[in-house]
Amino acid sequence: MSRTVALAQVAGLVVGLVAGCTPGTPQTRSPLSAAVNTLDPHERHRLKSAVTRAFDAPDGIFTGYTIEPLNIETQPTVVWAKPVGPAADRPDGGSCRPLEIMIVKEGQTSKSTVTYCRAAGSKMVEPMS
């Protein structure tokens, strides 16, 4: 092994350790869940309303809200949900449906398709676990 390669190995080891060369995978969150985390309680409530209404809407019809922030100098937040497929019945009597979710918060747009489910006899719609 040449001296250059040995130095490169040491440098690689040091940089790798500094850069976090440890077992396991990086704990990065999905862009949509990160966006949901930035919503304030009122915005989360509106997103929940949008998802609940979109669950029963025809395909492609979105339900959206524009939420003015408390600090009016900043940009309004937009949340909307749109069904992108038919509801599928579950054996327990509930149903699940894929919804496209979009959040525009502080100029950042996050969009993702999430499957939501509703238990039999319930009004509540929850992400499929």
- Going residue by residue from 29 to 68, which x/- string records binding to other proteins, judged by CB under 8 A? x-x-----x--xxx--x----------------xxxxxxx
Residue 93 gets the label, from left (phi > 0), alpha (psi -120 to 50) or beta, of left
Give the Cα separation of 26 and 42 in Å (integer).
31
Which residue of 32, 57, 78, 119 would you call a contact of other proteins, by CB under 8 A?
78
Give the Cα separation of 86 and 97 in Å (integer).
6
In whole angstroms, how close is the CB of 123 to other proteins at the nearest point? 8
Regarding 12 and contact with other proteins (CB under 8 A), the answer is: yes
Give the Cα separation of 7 and 76 in Å (integer).
54
In whole angstroms, how close is the CB of 45 to other proteins at the nearest point? 6
Nearer to other proteins by Cβ, of 27 and 92: the residue is 27
Query: How buried is 106 (Cβ within 10 angstroms: 0-12 exposed, 13-18 middle, 19+ buried)?
Result: exposed
Which range touches other proteins (CB under 8 A), out of 24-32, 82-90, 91-99, 112-120?
Answer: 24-32
Q: What are phi and psi of 111, to 5 degrees?
A: -140, 140
Which stretches of the chain bind other proteins, using CB under 8 A?
A: 5, 8-9, 11-13, 15-17, 19-22, 26-29, 31, 37, 40-42, 45, 62-68, 70-76, 78, 80, 102, 104, 106-107, 109
